[in-house]
Amino acid sequence: MPDLSLVTMLFIGVNLDFFVVLLLLLQKYRFRDNFIGYELGMLLVFVISAIAGQLIQTIIPTWAIGLLGLLPIYMGIKGENDDVNNSSKSTSNGGMTAVLLMYLISCGADNIAVYVPVLATMTTAAILLTLGYFIILTAISLILAYLFGQIPIVKYVFERWGSPISRIIYILIGLFVMLNTGLIQFIFNLF
């Protein structure tokens, strides 16, 4: 049986930053798209961590993962078609894919780095129980983000300034990924 206090703190610690991004994504895409994208992202990261985390860390240098930071920077600079009516939420699979990609880009490398040492100490049964618990925690955090996003002042801020805020956050996420993985330090060391 996994230590529930440890795995709860682990989940909150590595997903807290995504909560803010989730507030933006819930304003832009349907709840269902957010739910599927977020759950798939969490599952993918967890499975990679549990099965192949050590292998990935030995094959791919951490700094190289930082190149993924270019994707959210590109999304922030490119933006969306701002002339399209922003009040209607996307109903295509693009919403699910966007949420999945944002989760993988903003949380993937960090979560893997944190999950691997914890999961390496667990039995297979404990890993499976932790996975089930994380699925529940992911749903709860999405519901909390949705409810928080329905507060009138929060909703007003995101309706009024959601697009520029999300663009800035995408760029900051990209920069954070590049800094946190050591990519920028690696580039400076080349010179």
Give per-residue pLDDT as tens, 88-113. 455 556 788 988 888 888 777 767 76
Q: Where are the beta strands (DSSP E) in the chain?
A: none
Instruction: Identify the burial level of 154 via C-beta atoms within 10 angstroms of its C-beta, where 0-12 means exposed, 13-18 middle and 19 or more buried.
Output: middle
The pLDDT value given to residue 84: 36
Contact at 8 Å (CB) between 173 and 70? no
Band the pLDDT of 55: cuts 50, 70, 90.
Answer: low
Collapsed DSSP state (helix, strand, coil) of residue 90: strand
Neighbours of 150 (CB within 10 A): 10
Provide mean pLDDT across the span 116-140.
Answer: 85
Instruction: Identify the burial level of 177 via C-beta atoms within 10 angstroms of its C-beta, where 0-12 means exposed, 13-18 middle and 19 or more buried.
Output: buried
Q: What share of the chain is helix, strand, coil (3-state, %, to 5)?
A: 85, 0, 15
CA distances from residue 142 to 24, 40, 52, 137, 188 in whole angstroms, order as listed = 12, 13, 27, 9, 38
Please state which of the ranges 12-16, 45-49, 56-60, 91-95 shows the lowest mean pLDDT. 56-60
Is 142 a residue whose pLDDT tops 60?
Answer: yes
pTM, two decimal places: 0.66
Band the pLDDT of 86: cuts 50, 70, 90.
Answer: very low
Give per-residue pLDDT as tens, 143-185. 998 998 888 887 787 777 767 876 787 787 778 778 877 888 8
Provide mean pLDDT across the span 25-49.
Answer: 90
Neighbours of 54 (CB within 10 A): 13
